[in-house]
Amino acid sequence: MSIRPLFQSSNKTFSFELYPPKTPEAESRLYENLERMKLLKPSFISVTMGAMGTNKGNTLEIVERIERNYGIHGVAHLTCVNATRDNILDLIGELRNRRIQNLLCLRGDPPRASQTFQPPLNGFRYASELVSFVREKTGQDFSIGVAGYPEGHLECPDKEKDLLHLKQKVDAGAEYVLTQLFFDNRDYFDFVKKVRALNVGVRIIPGVMPVTSVSQLKTFTQMCGARIPEKMKSDLEKIQDDPAAVRRYGIDYAASQCEDLLAQGAPGIHFYTLNKAYSTTRVVRNLGLA
């Protein structure tokens, strides 16, 4: 089920991101949460690829089940990590066999033992190369999205150069952008303004993560380079030993953030759910999106 017609007919979408579970117990919880998420009727659900390019099969299986069993558009992440051109061609064949038509093309994170990303022989160094290759081999068979970084990519301190990287991905054939998580909406709107100045017209969907754990928040922001606003940091420090209070704060903060984004013209919200339904469900219902 291609999401291309969905974007053509709807000015705003809301969507979720999941990741492949690592254990049978986690897999069972994932599908329990999917039962709750489907009641919200999301526009689409994206599924990440495992660390260092692992769990490709799990990613495709989950996307296939999302579409077949839940009737929701699924988006499979596709990364450059440990992927040669032949590997990508094999994956394209499997995607077609499973009737998956939506991709999010990413470079992916380097292996933990490496300081920098090193593409495999006959592989891809940048997501723009991956997008271009998929387009060359498949034409318009797949709807392709890419990532955007409102605060700049962690590995690219030159923000103007990072904006040009995004333009290259769109010029290569990307149809929409999902942004990295952020907590200050000014970062998103400043980013969109600068991207538009480069004559990039595709929709840029903001990524929002309801905070559920202070320690997890610190880990995620260190990994992706997102900034925690000082007031948010101060508020969370006061309640960090009360998990229920942290969760309530995360729901309220995300709801307020999303309300402002939508009021100022954002074309929807992409929620980083961490495979949990409760907080995202509360935010969506509080906003009246369900």
Residues carrying an active site annotation: 17
The CA–CA distances, whole Å, from 248 to 20, 32, 255, 283 equal 26, 22, 11, 10
Contact 284, 240 (CB under 8 A): no
Provide the Cα torsion 141, 173, 79, 226; round to 10°: -130
Q: Over the range 25-48, which residues count as b (16 or more CB within 10 Å of their CB) and which as e?
A: eebeebeebbeebbebebbbbbbb
How far, in Å, CA of 75 to CA of 230, rounded?
34
Provide the Cα torsion 177, 8, 209, 129; round to 10°: -20
Structure tokens given for 248: 């309530």
